[in-house]
Structures are given as C-alpha cells and as structure tokens.
Amino acid sequence: MPSLRTFLLPSELGSDFRKIWPAAIISNLGDGAMLAAGPLLVASITTEPAAVGAAAFIQQLPWLLFALFSGALVDRLDRRLMIVAADTFRAIVIGALGAAVLLGHAPLWAIYVALFLLGTAETLADNASGALLVDAVPKDHLGKANARLFASGTVLQQLGGPPLGALLFAVGAGVPLVFNAVTFGAAAALIARVAVRPLPAESAGTALWAEVRVGVRWLWQHAGVRTLACSILVMNITFCAAFATWVLYARERLGLTETQFGLLVSVGAIGGVLGMPVYHVLEPRVGSLTLLRAGLVIETTVHLILALTRSPWVVGGTMAVFGVHAVVWGIVSTTARQLATPEPLMGRVNSVYLLASVGGAAIGSALGGVLAQRFGLAAPFATAFVAMVLMTAVAWRPLRHVSVRRVVAAD
C-alpha cells in the first residue's frame, strides 16, 4: 500500500510540483484567513455598506485593468521569478499594512491603496502560476496536479482559512495581515526552488498590446477554448447574480439562523473537498467531454431547484452536489484549456480566461441585488436558470473541440 506522501505527491507529477503545491497550500491558507479578516478590518473602521463593499471592488479592479497585460508579461518573462517577485511584493505590502494596523495608524484610504496593490500583484502571480504548472508537470498528468490544487484551495480558502482569520483578528486586528505576509514569504521561498525552463523569445521587441491581441485572437479562433471562456463568463455572471443575496435568501426564504447559514455554506465547501476523488473516479471512465457537458446540466439544474424550493434540506443537498460539480468542472476545464493552448501563449490565453471569470463575477454581483430588489429573492436563480439553459445549448457541440483526451489545436 502506498504511503500518504506517495499518494498525494506521486512521482509522475515531477519534483517541481513538490514545491509548487506546498507553496499553493501556504498561500491558500493565508488567502483564506484574509477572506474573513479583510472585511472585519474594514468594518472595524467604517460601518458604511458602500465603504465596506468598495474594499472588495478595489481589490478586484486590477483584474479588469491589467489582466490581459499581465498575461503578455507572463509569456515574455521568467514565470518563476515573476511569482517570487509578486509574492515578495505582496508580503511587504500586507506586512506593512499589518504593522500600521497594530500601531493604530491605518486609515481607510491606506487600506484601499494596499488592496489595490495586492490585487495588481495577484494578476501577475495567478497568471504566472497557471503557466508555470504547465512547465513543471508532464502534460499527461496535468489533471492530477490540478485536482490537488483545486482540492487544497477549497479546503483552506473555504473551510480552514476563514475561521483562522477570524480567530487571529480577535487576537489583534493586524495579526492576520502579518500572518498573510509570512505565508506570501514562505510561498516565494518555495517557488524560488522550482527549476526554470527557458521560453521561446519570439515576442521580443513586439509591443505589449500587439502580443495581447495575439492571445485574444488565438482564443477566439479556437472553438473549444472560446467556448470554455464564454461558459465561465456566463456561469460566473449567473452564479454571482444568484448568490449576491445568498444570506438574505437563506434567512428570509429558508428561515435559517446565522449559525444554520454558516452550516449551509460549509456544506458546499465539503462537497468541493469531494470533488478531487470524484474527478479521479469519473474522468478515466467517462472522459472530460462528458464531465464538461454534465457540469453545464448540473449548474442549470441547481439554479432551477433553488428558484423553486423553500426547503433547507433540499438546498443543503443541492449545494453539496454543486460543490462537487464546481471542483470537477474547474479541474477538467483548466486541464483541457492548458493542454489545448500553445506554451508560448499560455499566459495570454490564461489571462483572457481569468478576465472572463472575474468580469463575470463583477457583472453578476451587480445584477443580483437589482433582480432580488425588484422581483424577489428567487428571481436571480430563475434568471440564472434561463441563462444557463441557453448557454448549455450553445456550448454543447463546440465543447467537443476541447478535451483532456483529444486536444484539437487551432488552425
């Protein structure tokens, strides 16, 4: 029987993955802690809803402004060094903010500036991380690597990190920020040990915007990858629109207390943890195309159920299934996109995909409150159901062009 270490880090994933995954685990723990500590910090300074909401928007704004350019830089420069530099920069920024908070000298504007800087560095780090994984792991085993990254991200960002962040905040408002700085520093140290693979220098001397256009054009001409990007755009619009008022839906439509709402959120996260073993069981048997199409059907059905039911038990079971689906879809779609994308374009294509993901989330969050305000708390779910029916119909055939087992390159 293989040891736990051998099971989690099989030799076929390569020696570099033994640094990349621990670095991701450490970063996810710090990020998860900040998911709770960040809003608590802002709310400790101001109780104005607009000011609290602005903090989340400011940290996401760099994705809308710089995502495409960061992808072009990832394809130009040493991806390993970019991650090390971005994580080191984030460690300095969040560490300085933590020290300022502990000393009582952190006005709201300083927090906003720090969040914008952190978000800007995140566009570089996340883009480079996705590209570096493809450099480090043999293509036949990218699915296994992505499964581990998604599983650890779910556990630490949704289950482990937030309670830790709240606990550290209770010790001192700046403590979770300092903790996050330490996690960034540790992650940078691990990534610094990853071996470097030289990239083709064909883009040298080309204007950055011209390189961005090459990546966008390639994605749009590849039917499968284009469909994945459009799918994640629509899925994030519908998901974030539906769940923008999730806490109100749980309280007023389902009659849940705050404690019960916390349990409901945990159910989805626990489902996500099961996503990795489910992927390992199903993908070899049914293939990635079937999983992608099934994911569209599941997501559509989830919105329909939540639009119709008032039963907490039905909602809980539905969210558990949704948690499994979200991780399986994430693993399969990410792996398929990575395999289909030429290595010299990896950063740029990934940046378009990430822009669609974050942009969809921003649009959906704005729409959800308006729909719920005008038509009731079930309206965002009903609207999401209709949108996903259309998306499923449009995406069904083009998805055959992208598969973990059968990658179709763009002409």
- CA 138, CA 119: separation in Å to the nearest integer? 30
The identity of residue 181, as a single letter, is A
- Helical segments of 255-345, H only: 258-273, 275-286, 288-308, 312-340
Q: Which of these CATH numbers, 1.20.1250.20, 1.10.357.10, 3.30.200.20, 1.10.287.3610, describes 12-194?
A: 1.20.1250.20
Q: Specify the fold of 206-411.
A: Growth Hormone; Chain: A; (1.20.1250)
Task: Measure the CA–CA gap between 131 and 338, rounded to whole angstroms.
Answer: 8
Residue among 128, 372, 377, 334 nearest 231 (CA)? 334
Using alpha carbons only, give the angle 113, 117, 120 rounded to the nearest 5 degrees.
Answer: 140
Residue given tokens 């009903």 in the structure block:
382
Cα 345–Cα 347–Cα 352 angle in degrees, nearest 5: 95
Closest CA to 27 of 103, 119, 69, 90: 90
| Residue at 290: amino acid letter | T
Cα–Cα distance measured from residue 160 to residue 168, given in angstroms and rounded to the nearest whole number: 13
pLDDT at 204: 53
User: Domain extents for the chain?
Assistant: 12-194, 206-411
DSSP string, 31-83: HHHHHHHHHHHHHHH---HHHHHHHHHHHHHHHHHHHHHHHHHHHHS-HHHHH
Q: C-alpha 255: how far from its chain's center? A: 30
CA–CA separation, 169 and 181 (whole Å):
14
The torsion angles phi and psi of 137, rounded to 5 degrees, stand at -110, 135
206-411 matches 12-194 in CATH topology: yes
Q: What is the reported pLDDT for 159?
A: 76
Q: Which two tokens stand for residue 307?
A: 């639009």
pLDDT computed for residue 407 by the predictor: 45
Cα 276 to the chain's mean position, in Å? 16
| Residue 263 exposure: Cα atoms within 13 Å on the Cβ side | 11
Parts of the chain with a pLDDT under 70: 1-10, 49-50, 53, 196-205, 258, 403-411
**192 C-beta neighbours (distance < 10 Å), count:** 15
pLDDT for residue 8: 67
Q: What is the pLDDT of residue 185?
A: 96
